[in-house]
Amino acid sequence: MTIRTGSLPDKGSLPRWARIAVVVYLSVTVAVVGAALLTSSFETDLDATVREWLMRSVVILTLPVSAAYFAVGFLLDSSGPPSGLLSPTAVLYYLGYVALAVVNAALFRWMILSIRKPVPAAGTPGTLPQGPGVTMRGVTRKVRNLWWTVPLAVLLSLPQWLVAGFAWCGISGCSGGGFGVATGTEWLAVTMSVVNGFIFAVAVFAVPWLYPTGRRALIALAAGTLFGLLGAAVTHG
C-beta separation of 217 from 207 below 8 A: no
What's the confidence (pLDDT) of residue 180? Answer: 63
- What is d(CA 57, CA 72) in angstroms, rounded to the nearest whole number? 17
pLDDT along the chain (237 residues), means of 10: 47 79 92 88 70 84 77 62 66 89 85 63 46 57 89 86 83 67 78 89 88 90 94 86
C-beta separation of 61 from 29 below 8 A: yes
What's the confidence (pLDDT) of residue 157? Answer: 87
- What is d(CA 233, CA 227) in angstroms, rounded to the nearest whole number? 10
What's the confidence (pLDDT) of residue 126? Answer: 46
What's the confidence (pLDDT) of residue 150? Answer: 92
- What is d(CA 109, CA 19) in angstroms, rounded to the nearest whole number? 9
Coil/strand/helix, residue 121: coil
What's the confidence (pLDDT) of residue 115? Answer: 62
